[in-house]
Structure 1
Amino acid sequence: MNHTMSSRPPKPADTPASPRFKDKGAKIPRKPNLGQLHKSHPTDEDYEALWKELDTGKPRSVALVGAAYLQEALRFSLDARFIKMTRKELDDRIFSPSGPLNSFSQAIELGYALGLYGSVICEDMHIIRVVRNLFAHTMKNVSFDTPDIGKEISHLSYFRMRKGKFEEPTDGRMEYTVGELIDKWNIWTNQQRYVFSCKEIAYAITAAVDHSKSPGPAALP
């Protein structure tokens, strides 16, 4: 005697009617397409607006823009050490939201491993990343003088090594490091230290790019 197996078990008689597969016809939420925004690169006008925002913006925007500027500079420096790829390949393979260097932290560590900079700049970039995250992930009214943020900024050290002239020396010296001037005159706020660090590190790592060290095309097929 042949028995035909039902494709699904019968519903008990005392169970109220309901769809067997709920939301079967529901539409899948649309994922936002940010590809063009992510892949577009800053223009000269964008940089002008960025510099203005760094100089005059409110603390939260300054923290985010300063870190974004530094992250873009790091990306430029890393590009020079990769095999020859088109900008689209870099965007799609390396720096896309699902790429290996979408994370600022990972990019910082790779730059250090490649010898683009030493431990001082590496540590400062991580501090800038942390400060950015503190501003980005809180709803509180914070500033660069908020204790947790100010504590991080107090550890920034690269900018203190930069040298500059002082017009009217009182001790016969004509040149000081930025750190010495700050200690001598106490002339900078935490926000100024943060902005100066973002700018100086970005300039330093891009100015040090050596395109002759690029590995060129892939060695194997």
Structure 2
Amino acid sequence: MDIAVIVRQIKLDLAMAKPHDLHFFEWNNVVQSFHGETDRGAAVIAAGFVDNYLGLYLRSLAVDSKVAEELFQSMGPLSSFSQRITLARAFGFISKQDYEDLTLIRKIRNHFAHHPLDTTFGIQEVSKLSIKLSDFKTAEEAAAGDITKQYRYAYLLSCGRCCAAMYMRLEKQVMEESKTK
């Protein structure tokens, strides 16, 4: 991998630490991009959206938005996907299933991001993780006969389902808050 590409990715990673204000319905754009990408591009794009959305979800739960902003700065304690996943589960903000899927999504994304040679969803390291995703059975049916597509679809479906679960929790919270006013 070219050093300029690595430097650009590091700059992007630092800039991405603080969640960008995305709406859940922008997931459709991610899905469109996902289908036009290589396996590496697809994995990084989908996980990037999930990582960002998890950050937004956690920020929305904060009672002091100014302090929360500091947590998500590039060197803050919630600057990484791993830290966000761990905190979200430790405090009961996500289910055990979401925690397990998000951890697998992070590991798959990291594999693609840190392997300089061509890699796919079909290689053993990635397929062993993909098959553990909770949405693998659904993907298996959707891409019957194409095992690599099954792994890829399981990843996409799990990314989308985790975001949808966070979105639904936020909607529920908003509805409950509006009832108390």
Supply the distance in 2 between the matched residues of 1:185 and 1:61 (Cα, whole angstroms): 20
Residue in 2 that maps onto 1:65: 45
Whole-angstrom distance in 2 between the partners of 1:61 and 1:203: 22
Shift of 1:133: 0.5
Distance 1:184 1:202, change over 3 A: closer
How much is the aligned-residue C-alpha RMSD, in angstroms? 3.1
Q: Larger Rg: 1 or 2?
A: 1
Structure 2-normalised TM-score? 0.74
User: Is this contact kept in 1: 2:130–2:155, CA < 8 A?
Assistant: yes
Give the equivalent residue in structure 1 for 2:60: 80
Kept in 2, the 8 Å contact 1:111–1:117? The answer is yes
Question: Which sections of structure 2, spanning at least 5 residues, go unmatched?
Answer: 1-9
Conservation of the 8 A alpha-carbon contact between 1:144 and 1:150: yes
| 1:41 aligned to which of 15, 20, 26 | 20
The alignment of Structure 1 onto Structure 2 pairs a total of residues equal to: 159
8 Å Cα contact 1:74/1:206 also seen in 2: no
Is structure 2 residue 177 aligned with structure 1 residue 198?
no
**CA offsets, 1:97-154, max 9 Å, x none?**
1100011111101111221222211011000000001001111211000111000001
Q: Match of 1:117?
A: 94
Q: Quick check: which one's helix share is greater?
A: 2
CA shift, 1:194, in A, is 0.6
- Structure 2: distance between partners of 1:136 and 1:149: 12
2: CA distance between counterparts of 1:204 and 1:116?
10
Give the whole-Å Cα distance in 2 for the aligned partners of 1:40 and 1:180. Answer: 30
**Counterpart code for 2:164:** Y
Residue 136 in structure 1 maps to residue 117 in structure 2? no
Secondary structure in 2 matching 1:80:
helix
2:36 counterpart residue number: 56
CA 1:147–1:36 in 2, change beyond 3 Å: closer, same or farther?
Answer: closer
| Inter-partner Cα distance in structure 1 for 2:19 and 2:141 | 41
Amino acid at match of 1:195: L
Matches of residues 155-170 of structure 1 in structure 2 within 5 Å? Answer: 155-157=132-134, 159=135
Change over 3 Å in CA distance of 1:186–1:81 after alignment to 2: same
CA distance in 2 between counterparts of 1:180 and 1:79 reads 31
Task: State whether structure 2 residue 69 is matched by structure 1 residue 108.
Answer: no
**Quick one: structure 1 residues 195 and 99, their matched pair in 2 at CA, closer, same or farther if it must change by over 3 Å?**
same
Aligned mates of 2:108, 2:13 — CA distance in 1: 27
Over the matched positions of the two proteins, sequence identity in percent amounts to 23
Deviation (angstroms), 1:186? 3.0
- The whole-number CA distance in structure 2 between the counterparts of 1:185 and 1:95 is 38
Q: Give the residue type in structure 2 aligned to 1:125.
A: L
The gaps in structure 1 that reach 5 residues or longer are: 1-31, 161-178, 214-221
Is the CA contact (8 Å cut-off) linking 1:153 and 1:193 kept in structure 2? yes
Q: C-alpha displacement at 1:90, in angstroms?
A: 3.8
